[in-house]
């Protein structure tokens, strides 16, 4: 492992972004965001709590009722496009900050996260002028049409695994539809959302349209999710907290969308392009340190190639470079915090205890102050083992054999999750059968973890409610109004018209 970390720098200092201004928290409190690769404090950030949430929601309401709703769709689109350009101009710096706050490899921040952020703002910048209703014929002298209107003030709560990308997935469609937003980034990774706030200010969004309030989930997050002044709550994170969010939203009947956990089955048949499948399997578990709701954490391999494929995986995983996230050649960076590290190590122990074979990895790398884990492969995993059913959120792969397509579908469907899945085969009939049989919001055929802004994304089963990206996101962030117009003479039938 190489370590090119410079000597400790003074922590960066950030305030909340409310009503177009950077302000201290009402309580004056701050919290520290460490760099996971060094353990040093990377940023000191104002800590929002209920009073700040109240201020931010009030600012968002005022902006919604004021300037923002009067702005034309074209101008909203222009602002979003301008923001996408500002992000692109600052991409290198944002990628570096993301890597220092989150621990992910700079290669991923630079070539995956930041381009994804720009893509999302660019894509949704095209939507405001295309949000259309319908005309619907009914019998009689009636003309009926629908309007898609913004929902109002949106609360958005996002996780730490793709801090800026998740902010983009949430903000871009909400703003395109004409909503205003109060966004709470994760406590572990508040920095890039606040850097984005600077660019939102520079782009010229009216004050209060976007408010960014870092703070803890149990305080700021809970206050936001249960706030009677918000019209919609959009959440990405764990299934456990997603259920809490749904409960507090239910109390006010706030609209809610949830992107939750996953345990993606990656199904590989013997007739597949096995080199491509091997490459994707390694990427699927190592990408973002496995801290990814789409991680291909359950590899289902047809029994006839089970051992050969597993051997191939082991040789590839042996070459994966773990270490300093700022090093361009690093493929697995640092685990985000101690809690996450403990969770990963716990599952590695649990897999061994349950009788799975640990084939490679399994250890924490302790040579630096940061938190690093070897990529780990378990074979001889049974579908009922915890490592095959539960979301680990680390580079720990469970490899399971299957005998035929129906068997693969049954194993794939045997968890509570249903976010994404993949199937690798050259047989079209089989590819369609498996992709239809698997209960998941996205199924990739002969590819893995693609996620263009145009395509809907979200979960079946306990992986979520609603869809992000594409036209679906526009539907999530708008309400539908029906307008009925009568024309021609109207003969009353309730109170007879006077003659
Ligand atoms: P989490 O608790 O679900 O965090 C997601 C977001 O929800 C964060 O902004 C968090 O704030 C906030 N939050 C936490 N408690 C809340 C509450 N009571 N009310 C409102 N908001 C609340 O996830 P985590 O604890 O960071 O990670 C735990 C596990 O969740 C991971 O090991 C992984 O399995 C899963 N996870 C899944 C995804 C995904 O994309 N599906 C993403 C992240 C984590 P704070 O961070 O400030 O507490
Ligand atoms: Mg951090």
255 strand-pairing partners? 232
What residues act catalytically? 259, 293
pLDDT attached to residue 2: 42
* pTM across the whole model: 0.97
Ligand positioned closest to the Cα atom of 97: 2
DSSP string, 386-437: HHHHS---SSEEEEEEESSHHHHHHHHTSSS--SEEEEE-S-HHHHHHHHHH
DSSP code, position 208: T
Nearest alpha carbon, ligand 1 atom 35: 238
Q: Phi and psi at residue 31, in whole multiples of 5°?
A: -135, 165
Instruction: Give mean pLDDT, residues 334-347.
Output: 98
Ligand positioned closest to the Cα atom of 14: 2
pLDDT attached to residue 209: 98
Element of type H or E holding 33: strand 30-34
Instruction: Quote the mean pLDDT of the chain.
Output: 96
Nearest alpha carbon, ligand 1 atom 42: 237
Distance 193 CA to ligand 2 centre (A): 12
pLDDT attached to residue 9: 82
* Residue 166: pLDDT band with limits 50, 70, 90: very high
pLDDT attached to residue 199: 99
Per-residue model confidence as pLDDT tens digits over 202-224: 999 999 999 999 999 999 999 99
Report whether pLDDT(334) > 80: yes
Mutate to test the pocket of ligand 1, among 160, 182, 193, 217 (most ligand atoms within 8 A of CB): 217
The answer to whether the CB of 313 falls within 8 A of the CB of 296 is no
Q: Quote the CA–CA distance of 27 and 469 in Å, as a whole number.
A: 36
pLDDT attached to residue 262: 98
Per-residue model confidence as pLDDT tens digits over 71-121: 999 999 999 999 999 999 999 999 999 999 999 999 999 999 999 999 999
Query: Which domains are present in the chain?
Result: 12-260+463-482 (3.40.605.10), 265-445 (3.40.309.10)
Report whether pLDDT(490) > 90: no
* Residue 1: pLDDT band with limits 50, 70, 90: very low
Q: Phi and psi at residue 260, in whole multiples of 5°?
A: -115, -155
Closest CA to 183 of 205, 203, 199, 163: 163
Ligand positioned closest to the Cα atom of 190: 2
pLDDT attached to residue 183: 99
pLDDT attached to residue 331: 98
Per-residue model confidence as pLDDT tens digits over 223-248: 999 999 999 999 999 999 999 999 99
Distance 259 CA to ligand 1 centre (A): 11
Which residues have any ligand 1 atom within 6 Å of their CB?
A: 157-161, 184, 186-188, 216-218, 221-222, 225, 236-238, 241, 244-245, 260-261, 293, 340, 343, 391, 393
Report whether pLDDT(323) > 90: yes
Q: Quote the CA–CA distance of 401 and 407 in Å, as a whole number.
A: 10
Closest CA to 478 of 232, 168, 184, 124: 232
pLDDT attached to residue 294: 97
Nearest alpha carbon, ligand 1 atom 18: 218
Q: Quote the CA–CA distance of 193 and 129 in Å, as a whole number.
A: 26
pLDDT attached to residue 368: 75
pLDDT attached to residue 366: 86
Instruction: Give mean pLDDT, residues 19-37.
Output: 98
Q: Which atom of ligand 1 has the smallest separation from the CA of 242?
A: 3
Nearest alpha carbon, ligand 1 atom 10: 217
pLDDT attached to residue 496: 67
Per-residue model confidence as pLDDT tens digits over 422-479: 999 999 999 999 999 999 999 999 999 999 999 999 999 999 999 999 999 999 999 9
3-state secondary structure 242-262: HHHHHHHHHHHCCEEEEECCC
pLDDT attached to residue 497: 59
pLDDT attached to residue 6: 52
User: Quick count: other Cβ atoms within 10 Å of Cβ 447?
Assistant: 10
pLDDT attached to residue 494: 75
Of 37-46, 264-273, 325-334, 362-371, the poorest mean pLDDT is in 362-371
């Amino acid at each position: 492992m190489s370590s090119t970390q410079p000597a400790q720098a003074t922590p960066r200092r950030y305030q909340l972004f409310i009503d177009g201004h950077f302000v201290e928290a009402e309580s004056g409190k701050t919290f520290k965001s460490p760099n996971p690769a060094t353990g040093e404090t990377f940023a000191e950030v104002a800590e929002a709590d209920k009073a700040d949430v109240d201020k931010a929601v009030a600012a968002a309401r005022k902006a919604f009722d004021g300037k923002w709703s009067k702005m034309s769709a074209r101008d909203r689109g222009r602002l979003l496009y301008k923001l996408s350009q500002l992000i692109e101009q600052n991409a290198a710096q944002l990628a570096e900050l993301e890597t220092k706050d989150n621990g992910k490899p700079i290669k991923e921040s630079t070539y995956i996260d930041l381009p994804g952020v720009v893509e999302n703002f660019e894509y949704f910048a095209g939507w405001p002028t295309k949000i259309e209703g319908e005309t619907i014929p009914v019998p009689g002298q009636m003309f009926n049409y629908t309007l898609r209107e913004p929902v109002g003030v949106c609360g958005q709560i996002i996780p730490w695994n793709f801090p800026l990308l998740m902010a983009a997935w949430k903000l871009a469609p909400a703003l395109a539809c004409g909503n205003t937003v109060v966004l709470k980034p994760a406590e572990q990774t508040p920095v890039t959302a606040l850097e984005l706030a600077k660019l939102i200010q520079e782009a010229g969004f009216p004050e209060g349209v976007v408010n960014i309030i870092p703070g803890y989930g149990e305080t700021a997050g809970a206050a936001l999710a249960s706030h009677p002044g918000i019209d919609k709550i959009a959440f990405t994170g764990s299934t456990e907290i997603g259920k809490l969010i749904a409960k507090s939203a239910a109390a006010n009947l706030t609209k809610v969308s949830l992107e939750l956990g996953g345990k993606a089955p990656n199904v590989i048949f013997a007739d597949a392009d096995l080199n491509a499948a091997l490459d994707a399997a390694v990427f699927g578990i190592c990408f973002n340190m496995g801290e990814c709701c789409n991680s291909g954490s359950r590899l289902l391999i047809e029994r006839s190639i089970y051992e050969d494929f597993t051997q191939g995986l082991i040789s590839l995983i042996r070459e994966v470079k773990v270490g300093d996230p700022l090093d361009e050649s690093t493929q697995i960076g640092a685990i985000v915090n101690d809690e996450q590290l403990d969770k990963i190590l716990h599952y590695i122990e649990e897999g061994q205890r349950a009788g799975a074979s640990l084939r490679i990895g399994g250890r924490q790398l302790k040579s630096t102050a940061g938190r690093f884990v070897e990529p780990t492969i378990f074979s001889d995993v049974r579908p009922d083992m915890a490592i095959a059913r539960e979301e680990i959120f680390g580079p720990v792969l469970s490899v399971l054999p299957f005998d035929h397509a129906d068997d693969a579908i049954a194993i794939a469907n045997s968890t509570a999750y249903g976010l994404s899945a993949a199937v690798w085969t050259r047989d079209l009939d089989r590819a369609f059968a498996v992709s239809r049989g698997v209960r998941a919001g996205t199924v990739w055929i002969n590819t893995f973890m693609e996620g263009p802004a145009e395509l809907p994304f979200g979960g079946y089963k306990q992986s979520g409610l609603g869809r992000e990206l594409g036209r679906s996101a526009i539907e999530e962030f708008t309400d539908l109004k029906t307008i009925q117009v009568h024309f021609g003479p109207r003969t009353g039938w309730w109170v007879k018209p006077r003659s």
